[in-house]
Structure 1
Amino acid sequence: MGDPRKSRRKWEGPGMPWLSQALKSEQKIMGDYGLRNKKEIWLARTIVTGYRHMARSLLALPPAERAVREKQLLGKLYKLGLLKSEQSTIDDILGLEEESLLERRLQTIVHRKGLARTIYQARQLIVHGHIAVGGRKITSPGYIVKRDEEDSIDFYPTSPFKNNPPTAGQGEVNVEQKGN
């Protein structure tokens, strides 16, 4: 297992990080999902690559064992929300992109549900402890929300936003009133 004080990184960086096309696409993904740094993209890419590798390794197994393991992997990815239906196939796993995993992050789902005005505000609300999943406070924006937890995302009971959620006009200064 190794020394717990010397943990390994959980992501694999790009082979050629300075390609202009890669830089542009990573920058766009960072803006779309409100990511703090590119390591979050690389982590998602590494996780999805691992799932695709598992799917490819299933193809080499004997048919009886393959059917059992394929069902397990498909069930797991469906519960995570990475696959659209329970009748998905290995081809669907091989077609996964990192965006499908980034869509399952708590930060993204909080923004999509309308609990935050922007993706960046969603990150801040999570880090500051205002968001709960199933009544449990989650402070990690990268938390992968499972399909059955998605409906239980709400403000933490002691959060001041529970009764007064952020709205589109909150915090903005009216220019006409400012001059008077």
Structure 2
Amino acid sequence: MVKKLTKQYETPSEGWSEERIQEEDQLSEEYGLKNKREIYKAQSELRALRREARKLASEDDEERRKEVIGKANRLGLIREDAGLEEILTLNVTDILDRRLQTAVNRRGYSDTANEARQLVNHGHVYVDGQKVTVPGYMLTQEEEKKVEVQLPEPSEEPEETGEAEEVEETENTEEESEEQEGEE
């Protein structure tokens, strides 16, 4: 039996909203996102966390409440002593700030968010000694301290290519001058 794949995100319900589209474009540019799907994933993750917090606010399950607050704290979204109300005040930028790509950019390893994305995709970023090639990887607070970037060494191309062209040009001119002398 083949497992049916499901989307990890929900798309907006309305087809066209200029305000929403402008906001998404601004987020995409600020965080160097590949496409709007990444924004939708962050929104869906936030929506699920908020949904769980609202559900727990009406119930008396203290153990589950501590688990949800602990998860949000490990991700660095809220303080350790915060309550469920703090989870309800989160927005999508709080989720996007926890991405590996954003952490690499904010630490100064890259000049732009798109360059940070490229560093992650090309395998130059290590989290706790493990290579991570997913720009959308959600960092925990502990992992954020262990992010390392091993920048590639610039390749040194020999200067001979320019000299070789000059040598060929001088040889051609010598051959041409010999041919001209031979014709005379």
Q: Shorter-chain TM-score: which interval?
A: 0.7 to 0.9
**CA contact under 8 A between 1:51 and 1:93: conserved in structure 2?**
yes
> Across the two proteins, how many residue pairs are aligned to each other?
154
Q: Larger % of helix: which?
A: 2
Q: For structure 2, which runs of at least 5 residues remain unmatched after alignment?
A: 155-184
Normalised to the residue count of structure 1, the TM-score between the two structures is: 0.81
Secondary structure of residue in 2 paired with 1:88: coil
Matches within 5 A, 1:107-146: 107-146=101-140
RMSD: 1.4
User: 2: distance between equivalents of 1:128 and 1:137?
Assistant: 10
Give the superposition deviation at 1:72: 1.2
| Deviation for aligned residue 1:70 | 1.2
- Gap change, CA 1:75 and 1:116, over 3 Å in 2: same
C-alpha distance in structure 1 between counterparts of 2:53 and 2:2, whole Å: 31
Shift of 1:26: 0.5
- Indicate conservation of the 8 Å contact 1:11/1:43, yes or no: yes
What letter corresponds to residue 109 of structure 2 in structure 1? L
Aligned twin of 2:26? 28
Provide the residue aligned with 2:53 in structure 1: 55
> Within 1, Cα distance between the matches of 2:31 and 2:125?
17
Q: How does 1:35-46 map to 2 (within 5 A)?
A: 35-46=33-44
- For 1:58 and 1:82, the matched residues in 2 are separated by 18
Residue 3 of structure 1 deviates from its aligned partner by: 2.9
| 1:155 to partner: Cα distance | 1.9
- Determine if the alignment matches structure 1 residue 13 to structure 2 residue 42: no
Consecutive unaligned residues of structure 1, counting only runs of 5 or more, are: 165-180
Q: Structure 1 vs Structure 2: percent identity of aligned residues? A: 36
Runs of 4+ residues deviating >4 angstroms: none
